[in-house]
Amino acid sequence: MIKIKVPATSANMGPGFDCLGVALDLYNYYEFEEIDEDLEIEGCEECFRNESNLIYVSMQKCFEAIDYTPGGIRININSSIPISRGLGSSAACIVAGVAAANELAGNRLSKERLLEIANEIEGHPDNVAPALLGGMVAAVQDKGKVYFDKVKLSDNLRFCALVPDFTLSTKESRAVLPTSLTYSEAVFNISRAALLVTALSNGSHELIRHACEDALHQPYRGKLIPGYDEIIEKSKELGCIGAFLSGAGSTIMTILSKENETFPEQMEQFVKSLGNKWTIKELNVDNQGIEIRTPPINAI
């Protein structure tokens, strides 16, 4: 049996649309086993217990790449990452499936190759790269390759996610984006994405808020989220050092300095005044990424 743990991820981080993401200490756990025949899936809704399950589809992609044909597959899921909230639940399923298939087939592929397969399934690397590698990752895809680098984050940072009771699918959230941009909007974003990487790395807290601004997606997606503007405004007032839409939403992510101990409780009070229910999750960076355990045979 193979046991896999995958962290949640927060992608885009404001201006880094489709290229920046960070792994956080909220996890999905999976168990995989090759059995004689058939597909058995436990730990998810009935409608996902079939061959179109994203974990299983991702396993098949990896098996094809390795040219391995398993008998049957058993998958057990224990998930804490909320679904369709911009916290990388799909990416977790994809990297777990790809990594499990590689293990079952004899661990033949490198992490770089697993990332390429996962990226091909997801379409962009900003969730799958930190889910596999941990930490904050900058990643670029080009002709099937993924070029990535980990960002050394300043120690004095933690995250606080505001997770609403409504979902937003990536498909829906991508559908509201414009099809073209002006030159000045492109400059607006690349300058902030560059500044965000240096400010998070150097601990230049006073710059992070400005660096989280974005012209590519947040102005359009923010309108899909009741309470978005109020939360961003309140988070500044409560001393967060940066705030952005997590992935394609609906979660809003805030960055805090470790000294700011009052923010989560004060924000919890504030969100009670809004129309929807918002859950506050205090999170730290996960530096490890995916963890794969293959227990010794006599321990199973």
Which chain residues interact with ligand HSE by CB under 6 A? 11-12, 17-18, 124, 126-127, 170, 174, 217, 247-248
CB of 109 to ligand HSE, least distance (A): 23
Count of C-beta atoms within a 10 Å radius of residue 297:
7
CB of 262 to ligand HSE, least distance (A): 30
CB of 127 to ligand HSE, least distance (A): 6
Determine contact, residues 276/227, Cβ cutoff 8 Å. Answer: yes
CB of 217 to ligand HSE, least distance (A): 6
CB of 123 to ligand HSE, least distance (A): 8
Amino acid at 95: V
* Per-residue CA distances from 182 to 151, 189, 214, 218, 230 (Å): 29, 11, 13, 16, 28
H helix intervals, the chain: 54-66, 89-104, 111-122, 128-133, 170-175, 183-202, 205-211, 218-221, 228-237, 263-271
Report how far residue 25's alpha carbon sits from residue 81's, in angstroms, rounded to the nearest whole number: 10
Determine contact, residues 62/97, Cβ cutoff 8 Å. Answer: yes
Q: Give the residue with the Cβ less far from ligand HSE, 105 or 283.
A: 283
CB of 9 to ligand HSE, least distance (A): 9
Q: Give the residue with the Cβ less far from ligand HSE, 124 or 234.
A: 124
Q: Which sign does the torsion angle of CA 135, 175, 165, 123 carry?
A: negative
Report how far residue 9's alpha carbon sits from residue 2's, in angstroms, rounded to the nearest whole number: 22
Q: E strand or H helix at 33, and its extent?
A: strand 20-35
Q: Give the residue with the Cβ less far from ligand HSE, 2 or 129.
A: 129
Q: Give the residue with the Cβ less far from ligand HSE, 2 or 289.
A: 289
CB of 122 to ligand HSE, least distance (A): 7
CB of 11 to ligand HSE, least distance (A): 4
* Per-residue CA distances from 98 to 55, 56, 58, 184, 291 (Å): 8, 9, 5, 39, 13
Q: Give the residue with the Cβ less far from ligand HSE, 116 or 126.
A: 126
- Rounded to a whole number of angstroms, the CA Rg of the chain reads 19
Q: Give the residue with the Cβ less far from ligand HSE, 17 or 30.
A: 17
Q: Give the residue with the Cβ less far from ligand HSE, 124 or 158.
A: 124
Number of helices (H) and strands (E) in the chain: give both, helices first: 10, 11
Q: Give the residue with the Cβ less far from ligand HSE, 205 or 217.
A: 217
